[in-house]
A and B are shown apart, each in its own frame.
Chain A
Amino acid sequence: MNRARTALLTAAGTLLLLAAMEAAGRLGVLGESWPPLSQVVAALGDPVTRDLLGRALAATATAAGTGFAAGALAALAVAVTGVLLPVLKAGLDRLAAVVHAVPLIALGPLLITTVGREGTPSVIAALAAGFAVFVAATSGLGAASEAHRDVFRALGASRRSTLVRLQLPAAVPLLLDGLALAAPAAVLGAVVGDWFGAPRGLGVLLVSSMQNFQTELMWSAALSAAAISLLAYAALAGLRTAAARRFA
């Protein structure tokens, strides 16, 4: 009953939003750069446009996916290092904060000269996703209760054994929360990374269609980026709900 109601409200909200977009476009209240939604969808009927968008989408999704995986693994490795070598913990926390504080845009020129134009989107995606995962992993690894820690200490558990048998399993729900937040960040990072001269990608398409006043194309690129963000988020959030029952 309750779940059905939630689903109904979600569907109603989505419909309302889409209808508002359509209406705003038809009435032209937000100017010429806001086309009706139906017109954006209709533009996808053209095979050339569809092909163009498809390739851009594939490029961005690949960059976001590799960046997400690499960023998440690196962040987890850094968080685990902080647990195994407590002397490094404070330093690693600060390093992560400093890296995160540097605007991603400012790293562009540096990345172009180091990893090249093609690699830049995935690296920026990795940096964007990595911080969210790092924060989640750090708090997740500290989430085990005091009583559990006492039991492990009294059992004479090594730091590694405590990590593997207590801290990592206890971190799973928070870690999946972090991953769910990191996925949209990775997509955004990949799109931003496209702007530094990547050969193709949604970011490239956004900029070129904007400059050429191809409003429908620009919107379809923007909506595609939003769609993959939402899909990745929904998938990981679902996984988290399933895991919460198992691990908490």
Chain B
Amino acid sequence: MKRDRRIKKSLNFSRVEVLRKLLRKAKKYLPIFICSMVLAIITVSGNLLIPLLIGQAIDHIAGAGSVDFSSILRLLIWILASIGSASIAQWLMGLCNNRMTYGIVHDIRDEAFRHVQKLPLSYLDSHPTGDTVSRMISDVEQLANGLLTGFTNFFTGVLTILGALCFMLSVNPLIALVVVAITPLSLLAANLITKHTFSMFRVQTETRGEETALIDELVSEQKLVQAFGYEERAQAHFDEINGRLRSCSLRALFYSSLTNPSTRFVNALAYAGIGTIGAIAAISGRISIGGLTSLLSYANQYTKPFNEITDVLAELQNALACAARLFELIEAPEQTPDPVPDKLKHLPVSAGSIEFENLSFSYSKDKPLIHNFNLNVRSGQLVAIVGPTGCGKTTLINLLMRFYDPDSGRILIDGVDTLELSRDELRRNLGMVLQDTWLKTGTIYDNIAMGKPDASIEEVVAAAKASHAHAFIKRLPNGYDTQIGEFGGSLSQGQKQLLCIARVMLARPPMLILDEATSSIDTRTELQVQDAFQKLMRGRTTFIVAHRLSTIKEADIILVMREGRIIEKGTHTKLLAQGGFYAELYESQFAH
């Protein structure tokens, strides 16, 4: 049941719709496309002329002593000319097709990536990374393969069919009709097969996706699997999916590979038909032997494109399935756009006063989290967010940074509704250190300078010194130019954290959001980092998801959260006096 539902999900678009979208993306390649068409016509006519010439030449080789050498020579020169021009045209056509295909694919990838930058966090939080990556990489690759075979074979194929038909009619209309009568069989067979395999390929793609997700999980967390002696059950789970993949792949592969034999069979029938009827006609002199030879060649040339076109159709089926998944990504609704320039308000450097006005928010409609929340934070104040683990403290960060937008109510910074600011400007005013340290591939310098790409090396070093990262950076092989691999590579958790702090230290935004920032820093330098933070926080409005009692006590406002809701707010003394949940939390600190 579950599987079926997932299959339907990727069927948001019909095949025709996907094709139309694809054509829209290809629009700007129209000139190349026209070139390719012209070259295709040259290629095909050159190729088609040859059997006719060869047939005529063979007629001049009637038997011993009756060979007309001068006519043959003339014909052979013609053959040489046509094959020469056809070969060159075919090569140029290949270049055009490459340019179109890789161009389109390049454009789509760029567009997909740009789109991902604008997708709301809610989309990215609810779609596995692996799935999005596979849409942007392997689905695009398969689409490219499909398009390339499509461009290369489709038009030459159609032209060859039409051309061969004309030539055959000119040689012998009766036999031409025999060919025309038989070939629809080939199309019918191919059509039947592709129709049959489309759904098989889809099931295969889905099952493969399921398996890849499991592989991703089992491999990345292999240590955990081993620690829990979970290997055998993991293997069994995998083998179950693997078994399903086996049967659906076998069906997809086998049925799709029947296309070739079937069309070849129909061709062979056509060949036998022409051979027999042509030979009988030749006896009564209605056709020459050379003419029959040309016809047999044409029959091959005429039917071969049917093969190719059906191949192309099979490939296109797969490509369209992939394109559909790709368009699902590209057309996923973007986050609400920033206001248009003339309605946009500006806040180059905020003074740092923040006001929450009747704010309501929830991740899903059925579970309201924040309801009618009001809070006034004056410039430079320290707001500590406290509460038991998992109480949803990150929700406030999501809202402040506009990773998510409120359902109703407003957040005002210096009296300006954050929805009226551009996200970029808002975020430049807010410095953030998250619990999950994340570094990008690049040098240490690149990572610290992330929020201020034009920073001089002196500024970067100063920021690193202030956040006590300088000492370990200095000891790295290439100092600030040391490359860090994907996901931070060989740096320790604490070192990564220091870099994240240095990043904010350099940008020095007027407001800060700190999420348990110090939880995994080396205890012995924690004091120094605290000191650096104190410096940073001075004069800056700060929201901090706090665990340290000292931080909490210093806070101007404490927000106590529980189960996603803000249940108490006030100062330390006031909240203690209230004797509510905060007091209970505070008491428990002494309990161990």
Q: Do A and B bind each other?
A: no
Residues of chain B whose beta carbon lies under 8 Å from any beta carbon of chain A: none
